[in-house]
Amino acid sequence: MSEVSPRKCPWLKILLGGVALGVLVLAGLAWGMRVTDARPFCSSCHIMEQAARTHKLSPHAKLACNECHAPAALLSKLPFKAKEGARDFYMNTLGDVDLPIVAGMATKDVVNANCKACHFATNENVASMDAKPYCVDCHRSAQHMRMKPISTRMVADE
């Protein structure tokens, strides 16, 4: 029986190093995912200022943007974020954004699912999804206070 100290085993070192690296990479990714879910990142593009401002003034201010605007399940969230991010990046650089900016069907559905995910208990005993397609059809100001005068929401670009 040969006496080889575990310290001298190259395979174990590689394994441990790999695990450490994996943990670091995963931690980094998790951190990056969280940062890019949140308002400071989203509002770093000036065109999102109105949405960010009304979010910060709203009862939902402490939640991240993507708690409403991306699916909660990781397997759906990853591709959704990639797709939305790529589209927003394109529109902000090479595209031509027309005002007003209005949510598309995919976003409306994702947001609505997230309403239900957090507020399921409130609605447990009522058929609140029967009459209106979206929760915000009644809870309108949850859509970034869009019934308030423009001067409370926007200014011109420099």
Partner 1 sequence: MNSRVFYTLIRLAVVCAALGLAAGCDDVSTAELKTPVYKTGLKDSDDNKTSAFRKDFPLQAASYDRNNESTFMSKYKGSVNFMKNDDVDPLPEGYKQGAQPYLKNLWLGYPFMYEYREARGHTYAIHDILEIDRINRYGEKGGMPATCWNCKTPKMVQWIKQYGDDFWAKDFNQFRTEVTDDDSIGCATCHNAETMQLQLYSEPLKGYLKSVGKDPAKLPRSEMRSLVCAQCHVEYYFNDPGHGPTKRPVFPWKNGFTPEAIYSVYEDNGNVDMPGFKGKFADWVHPVSQTPMLKMQHPDYETWIDGPHGAAGVACADCHMPYQREEGKKMSSHWWTSPLRDPELRACRQCHADKTAAYLRGRIEYTQDKTYKQLLVAQEYSVRAHEAVRLALEYTGEKPADYDQLIIRAKEAVRKGQMFWDFVSAENSVGFHNPAKALDTLTSSITLSQDAINAALKATNYGIAPKLEGDIKQIVPPILKMSRKLQQDPEYLKTHPWFAYLKPLPKAGQMWEGNKKIQ
Q: Return residues touching partner 1 (CB under 8 A).
A: 35-36, 38-41, 43-44, 47, 49, 52-53, 56-57, 89, 93, 96-100, 102-103, 137, 140, 143, 146-158
Choose between 57 and 78: whose C-beta lies nearer to partner 1.
57
Q: Cβ closer to partner 1: 10 or 104? A: 104
What's the min distance (Å) between Cβ of 133 and partner 1? 10
Q: How far is the CB of 138 from partner 1 (least distance, A)?
A: 11
| CA dihedral over 101, 104, 95, 66, signed as positive or negative | positive
- Quote the least distance from Cβ 149 to partner 1, whole Å: 4
Q: Which is nearer to partner 1, 10 or 59 (CB)?
A: 59
Q: Select from 108, 158, 101, 156 the least CA-distant residue to 133.
A: 108
Contact 64, 41 (CB under 8 A): no
66: part of which helix (H) or strand (E)? helix 66-69
Burial of 78 (0-12, 13-18, 19+ CB in 10 A): middle
Q: How far is the CB of 100 from partner 1 (least distance, A)?
A: 4
Angle formed at CA 35 by CA 33 and CA 39, multiple of 5 degrees: 125
Q: Among 69, 102, 94, which Cα is nearest to 83's?
A: 69
Nearest distance, CB of residue 41 and partner 1, angstroms: 5
Residue nearer to partner 1 on the CB measure, 130 or 158:
158
Nearer to partner 1, 43 or 66 (CB): 43
